[in-house]
Chains A and B, each alone.
Chain A
Amino acid sequence: MSQNLNPAHNPDELEVAQGTHHDQLEGWVPQLASDAELRDAFEKAFDYRGDVTLTLKSGEKIEGYVFDRRTGKTAAESVVRLIPAGKDEKRAIPYSEIAALAFTGRDTAAGKSWEAWVRKYWEKRQAGEKNIGLEPEKLD
């Protein structure tokens, strides 16, 4: 079954799954000059766990979370789908209508690590704290 796979992906040989290295995308404003740049930027926006801001060619600005992208043969056939911040709707916008993209929101998956949690846990424990826990971030 797995003879033809790259050894790094060979399920019969894997001892431990390699973790993911996160690119620092917060604040990034990609060039959207070519079709390839456009597609690459929206792949990254789809993978990004923060809000982005789209500036449409009409001048409208939309800040929201990109939850999907669908790439077609042309920019007009490709769409990015997002949920605008503070709204209860989904919007689909063709790539061809987009003038600019900026990674404006905080990447909620970045800057957290197991090592940081262990370090904080140990510090709290040494300080005599009880019921130490890692709380989810406040939503307000």
Chain B
Amino acid sequence: MAVPISQMATVASYVLRQKLAGRKRYPLVLMLEPLFRCNLACAGCGKIQYPAHILKKDLSPEECFRAADECGAPIVSIPGGEPLMHPRIHEIVEGLVARKKYIYLCTNALLLKEKLDLFTPSKYLTFSVHVDGEREHHDFSVCREGGYEIAVDAVKEALRRGFRVTTNTTLFDGADPNSVRRFFDEMMEVGIESMMLSPGYSYDKAPDQKHFLGRARTRRLFRAILSNRKKHWRFNQSPLFLEFLMGKRNYACSAWGMPTFNIFGWQKPCYLLQDGYADSFAELMNDTKWDEYGTESGNPKCANCMVHCGYETSAVNDTFGSLRGFWATVKATMSTEYKDDGALAMLNEPARPVHSYNPLVQIESPQQETSV
């Protein structure tokens, strides 16, 4: 099982209640960012670029609980920044567990091993460890040698102590599908519960502005990775969302499904794109012009996005919105092989990034930028 039955039942009954209440927009996952500071400076991340006085700020546990109560989503994802750098993160987790929220604490795991004592294993708490592929790929992606080893070591320790652990992998242009598939095997062998996958979002504040995938490329990459799937791979994602990534179905963005709360307030419209802040969850839901976002809106900032925080709720909505969607989910859950000769052939092609590079043998000619 990719997630425990109790969690599946909680989410299913919550979504059905929203449907029965006739709610067109409802939150599924609260993205709670209790701080922006991080102990990594990844090239593809546009989350941590703030003045020092902003990076030093933390949400208090009380502010986190108020946001969770106001929002009401059954799942709370805690990204950041690096949440384990928050001095009261264990209090935040405890309070959310007491509220019976299913928590995904997203961490790069550099501090996980030393912080594990602060937490108690629970069906409500999962460490979602950011690992961007095999050793070399991960280390380069997070711009730190040795990062993979630290993360995997911490994952093993967390598993040994009885915690739920998943991985969270972001893929950029140039990702090698064969390597990603080998990575899946590796993680399943380590014994994690399941894996999450996402194409990187084109953050305009990220240092790397060259390796964001367009949608056509994203679909090809995920088709190569997720077709001809191995039976033992487990994913912590809606099977229809994975089909969306593979280009087998199309969805409109439902950014309202994963609202974000951080030190500035409720972020409009989503975790990825900042277009202002609301002071309450109700204001976020009622005053955001949702039609101005999502691929179909023509908004260039949304053009390439296929990230779960915009589209996973759409997939879940599809599951519970019609018998056809429900049947498609059942089928996708039972039959996960996705035999595809074309995708197999793609695995034999060399990975061809748009901007050809190999960091170890070819450096692009010096640019004006000199600092990192």
- Are A and B physically bound partners? yes
Partner-B contacts on A (CB < 8 A):
1-2, 4-6, 8-20, 46, 49-51, 65, 67-70, 81, 83, 85-86, 88, 90, 105-106, 108-109, 111-122, 125, 130-137, 139-140
By a CB distance below 8 angstroms, the chain A residues around B277 are 67-68, 81
In the complex, are the beta carbons of B364 and A16 less than 8 A apart?
Answer: no
In the complex, are the beta carbons of A108 and B51 less than 8 A apart?
Answer: yes
The smallest beta-carbon distance between B138 and chain A, in angstroms, is 12
In the assembled complex, B367 has its CB within 8 A of some CB on chain A: yes
In the assembled complex, B335 has its CB within 8 A of some CB on chain A: no
Interface of A is mostly: loop
In the assembled complex, B215 has its CB within 8 A of some CB on chain A: yes
In the complex, are the beta carbons of B363 and A119 less than 8 A apart?
Answer: yes
In the complex, are the beta carbons of B53 and A11 less than 8 A apart?
Answer: no
30 A-B interface contacts by CB (under 8 A): A1-B296, A11-B214, A11-B304, A15-B354, A19-B204, A19-B208, A20-B209, A65-B54, A67-B277, A68-B264, A81-B277, A83-B264, A86-B53, A106-B51, A108-B49, A108-B50, A108-B51, A111-B369, A112-B369, A112-B371, A112-B372, A114-B211, A116-B367, A117-B43, A119-B366, A125-B360, A132-B145, A133-B145, A136-B38, A140-B52
What size tier do the contact residues of chain B reach? Answer: 35 or more
Contacting A at CB under 8 A, from B208-223, are 208-217
The smallest beta-carbon distance between A69 and chain B, in angstroms, is 7
CB < 8 Å: which of B50, B265, B276, B370 contacts A69? B276
Q: How far apart sit A134 and B250, CA to CA, in the bound complex (Å)?
A: 38
The smallest beta-carbon distance between B171 and chain A, in angstroms, is 13
Partner-A contacts on B (CB < 8 A):
37-41, 43, 46, 48-57, 143-147, 173, 202, 204-205, 207-217, 250, 264-265, 276-277, 295-296, 298-300, 303-304, 354-355, 357, 359-360, 363-364, 366-367, 369-372
Q: How far apart sit A10 and B297, CA to CA, in the bound complex (Å)?
A: 10
In the complex, are the beta carbons of A118 and B363 less than 8 A apart?
Answer: yes
The smallest beta-carbon distance between A119 and chain B, in angstroms, is 6
Q: How far apart sit A130 and B149, CA to CA, in the bound complex (Å)?
A: 14
Q: Pick the 10 closest A-B CB pairs, nearest first.
A: A19-B209, A14-B214, A114-B208, A133-B144, A17-B212, A134-B143, A20-B204, A17-B304, A112-B207, A109-B205
